[in-house]
């Protein structure tokens, strides 16, 4: 009887290995294939938090281009996503990004290194050429309205992530709580992330929400000169 149980357990384990291997193989066929993804995440970074953290780390020199200006929310990136997980670095080496395209994006993404990195890591997964990808970033940013009270925040603000989401939802018709999440770094607000379909419509994204900030409140440092 004991031998029968051992053999049965072995066969069940073997079957599970085969099943999971098949699942992994199916995922691998799409993994990091340019253009093969389900939706985008538009990541909007709260620039004052980034600048405070950079100063604390002694990296203020590298962040000078961004942090000497009165930025509020800036575009971190537009990231292709799977329903679970995400692709990255889909072409190695990545096609060289034309410097003229980079400079054209500095009004939304105020750091050359960020723009080059976003192209290498995320843009190459979009299935688009560089110019079309960065045009998509501009279109995505145009879809999302930023609540007025955050554009020139003159004093540090403490806010619940849910209240921050609600402020965005209020002025963006069609945006729901299932399509937006807030991330934090320590006590500070890090980003607001909004999920968009490939045709730039708001859409739900449960997996993205699971990576959200779990703090009751986050701190928003003031905008420089705000």
Which amino acids are annotated catalytic? 76, 118, 122
For residue 18, what are the CA distances in angstroms to 28, 67, 70?
15, 52, 56
Place of tokens 């490939």: 198
What is the spatial distance between Cα 178 and Cα 90, in angstroms, rounded to a whole number?
28
Q: How far apart are CA 109 and CA 214, in angstroms?
A: 27
Q: Which residue has the tokens 């509020």?
A: 72
Those residues with Cβ within 8 angstroms of residue 40's Cβ, 6 or more apart along the chain or in another chain:
78, 79, 80, 81, 136, 140, 195, 196, 197, 198, 200
């Amino acid at each position: 009887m004991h031998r029968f149980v051992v053999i049965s357990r072995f066969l069940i384990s073997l079957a599970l290995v085969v099943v999971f291997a098949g699942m992994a193989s199916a995922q691998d066929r799409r993994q990091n294939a340019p253009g093969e993804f389900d939706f985008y995440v538009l990541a909007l970074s709260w620039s004052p938090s980034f600048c405070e953290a950079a100063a604390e780390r002694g990296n203020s020199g590298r962040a000078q281009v961004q942090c000497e200006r009165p930025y509020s929310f800036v575009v971190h990136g537009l990231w292709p996503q799977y329903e679970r997980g995400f692709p990255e670095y889909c072409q190695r080496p990545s096609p060289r990004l034309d410097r003229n395209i980079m400079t054209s994006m500095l009004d939304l993404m105020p750091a050359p290194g960020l723009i080059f990195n976003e192209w290498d890591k995320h843009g190459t997964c979009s299935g688009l050429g560089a110019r079309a990808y960065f045009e998509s970033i501009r279109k995505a940013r145009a879809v999302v309205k930023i609540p007025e009270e955050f554009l020139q925040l003159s004093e540090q603000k403490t806010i619940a992530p849910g209240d921050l989401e609600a402020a965005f939802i209020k002025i963006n018709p069609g945006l729901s709580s299932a399509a937006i999440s807030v991330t934090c770094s320590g006590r500070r607000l890090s980003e607001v992330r909004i999920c968009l379909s490939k045709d730039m419509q708001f859409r739900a994204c449960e997996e993205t929400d699971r990576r959200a900030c779990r703090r009751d409140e986050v701190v928003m440092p003031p905008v420089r000169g705000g």
